[in-house]
Amino acid sequence: MIEQKNNNLVVGLSVFGAIFFIFGFATTFIVTLSAPVREIFDLSEFQAQLLSSAFFIAYPIMSIPTGKLIDRIGYKWTVISGLILMALGSFIYIPAASIPSFPVFLFGTFVLATGVVFLQVAANPYVTAIGPESTASSRLNLTQALNSIATMIAPWLISIAIFKGLEFPADAATAAERVPLPFIIMGIIVLLVAIAIFTIKLPPIKSEKSEKKSIWKYPHVVLGAIAIFMYVGAEVGNAGLIVNYLKSNVGMLPEEASTYAAIYWGGAMIGRFFGSFMFSDMPASKKFTYALPVLMLALISGSFVTDWNWTIGITFTGIALANFIIMQIGQGKAARTLATFALVAALLDIATSFTTGSFALWTIISIGLFNSIMFPNIFSLAVKDLDKGELSGASGLINALILGGAIIPPIMGSIADNFGYTWAFLVPAVCYLYIFYYAVSGSKLRRA
């Protein structure tokens, strides 16, 4: 019986690990695509960030209905439907780039995002509920780490597949011609994954009857949803402006700036791998042993995306080591680590606003490491003490507030247009300070 449960856990985590990878790639690709889209259509920074808005607006529209859809058709069919929608959205980019038409770009983005919402609303509660509650944060950090491998690949791919060898505005038409190919490949891959999942029997999660109050009466759920709003808005806002910030304020070419955007997302990958064992119940000695290969991954990945620049790889590894040391302050506790990381991220955004050159470059890039454990830790704190029958509703509400990714980036873009890029980074600093409040106080269990 125990062996069967372990097999179910492995199958479930394997499938949903792949799902996290897929929607991580799609999300980051869209966020980073705002830089080439700005050049292709000669947009302001505010207009370019509407691409992120078109993506993240799908969350408040579709998340709660998706939670109800899970209750009707189950996790498996919700995931398959999401993959099909992702493929459809990917193929819409072919006419969008051929015309080219920014409104069609936005429409394709919304359709693709709807598929991602299906995947994400199904994936988070499934991973939470498939095993013991005590290690839920560890499982979410592990799957988010797989998600983050994809988020690091996406900006690097944009630097290679779209920006490489181009100068703007002269080569805007060539950039438009290069956009569809990555989406065609992604559309084919997600259709193949949908077919594969159709043939697999996923371990079921049974809803339990509960007499508990509505999720709206759980303050830690509602405040957690607001924390997700702030987190996603800050993460996407920082990422969306990195390429153009480095181009304008540091003098980088878009191709080089995109590689630093990859390091920003790579920081989330490294931090989540740290979190996958730091929030587990394994002995402390093993945790420090496992940190070594993660630091090696930081060295290799940071060097790889910068065309094997080992100096940058070593710098990134040093910052990753600092991240791991700071993580010890949390003592493996989700709320305490979240508070620490949120405070550090706020200080890094403030430092970006009031410094220049290489120092500002690394302060903005380093934020990725401290974003790392925020989503899984906020989510696990927000659904704590809910029964399995309440998880889909709570996940729907929390994922609806991913709306922050649609609101915060255009605000930052408008500030960048009118006052300069550096001032825009004060906005995510405020977002991180709210997350600090949630970790310290708002996440405590209370009953309304």
For 272-327, what is each residue's pLDDT tens digit?
889 878 877 778 788 889 999 999 999 999 999 898 999 999 999 999 999 999 99
Would you state the CATH architecture of domain 2-442? Answer: Up-down Bundle (1.20)
State the Cα–Cα distance between residues 208 and 373, nearest whole angstrom.
29
Contact 324, 295 (CB under 8 A): yes
Residue 402 DSSP symbol: G
pLDDT for res 448: 55
State the Cα–Cα distance between residues 133 and 306, nearest whole angstrom.
40
Is the per-residue pLDDT at 412 higher than 90? yes
Distance of CA 129 to the CA centre of its chain: 21
Out of 162-176, 228-242, 401-415, pick the least confident.
Answer: 162-176
Mean pLDDT, rounded, for 262-269: 91
The residue behind tokens 């490949």 is 185
Nearest to 393 by CA among 121, 150, 60, 182: 121
How far is CA 341 from each of CA 104, 274, 312, 370, rounded to the nearest angstrom? 38, 13, 23, 5
Find the radius of gyration of the CA atoms of the chain. 20
Confidence of residue 8 (pLDDT cuts 50, 70, 90): low
pTM of the model: 0.82
Q: Is 209 exposed, middle or buried (0-12, 13-18, 19+ CB in 10 A)?
A: exposed
pLDDT in tens, 107-159: 999 999 999 989 888 877 777 666 666 666 667 666 766 777 787 888 888 88
Confidence of residue 392 (pLDDT cuts 50, 70, 90): low
Please give the structure tokens belonging to residue 250: 């540091």
Contact 241, 415 (CB under 8 A): no
Count the helices and strands in the chain (H runs, E runs): 19, 0
Secondary structure of residue 355 in the 3-state scheme: coil
State the Cα–Cα distance between residues 238 and 419, nearest whole angstrom.
16
State the Cα–Cα distance between residues 425 and 45, nearest whole angstrom.
14
Nearest to 240 by CA among 96, 416, 42: 416
Q: Between the ranges 160-169, 214-223, 306-315, where is the mean pLDDT highest?
A: 306-315
Is the per-residue pLDDT at 89 higher than 80? yes
How far is CA 128 from each of CA 139, 146, 387, rounded to the nearest angstrom? 7, 16, 11
End-to-end CA distance of the chain: 40
pLDDT for res 29: 87
pLDDT in tens, 395-410: 778 878 989 999 999 9
Q: What are phi and psi of 212, to 5 degrees?
A: -70, 165
